[in-house]
Amino acid sequence: MIAPGIETVDVSGTDLSLLGHSYYGDNETMLRELYDVLRARLPATQRTSLIQRNAGPMTYWQLAQQASPINR
């Protein structure tokens, strides 16, 4: 869903695990995105992990793919 005035980020191409709820902790790109939103308070136009997409006149963002998960 894309709504005016809200930055919509599509993470559907992200590899999910553990019932789809742990992807953020194993994905370096997702961790960078969360940091940029919560800590740095950057708008989508300034976040390097996002690709701009258009759906008609609306804009949404797609999380760039990551090469491999973080090693622990």
Any domain includes 4: no
Q: Quick one: pLDDT at residue 42?
A: 95
Any domain includes 2: no
As for how many domains the chain has, the answer is: 1
Task: Give me the DSSP letters along 10-56.
Answer: E-TTSPP-TTTTSHHHH-HHHHHHHHHHHTS---GGG-TTEEEEEET
pLDDT (tens digit, 9 = 90+) per residue, 5-41? 999 999 877 765 655 556 566 678 888 888 999 999 9
- pTM higher than 0.85: no
Range of the domain at 31: 9-63
CB 61 within 8 A of CB 12: no
Any domain includes 33: yes
Any domain includes 72: no
Q: Quick one: pLDDT at residue 61?
A: 95
Any domain includes 1: no
Any domain includes 68: no
Count CB-CB contacts under 10 A for residue 59.
15
User: Is the confidence at residue 68, as pLDDT, over 50?
Assistant: no
Q: Quick one: pLDDT at residue 46?
A: 96
The tokens describing 1, both together, are: 């869903």
Count CB-CB contacts under 10 A for residue 43.
9
User: Is the confidence at residue 71, as pLDDT, over 50?
Assistant: no
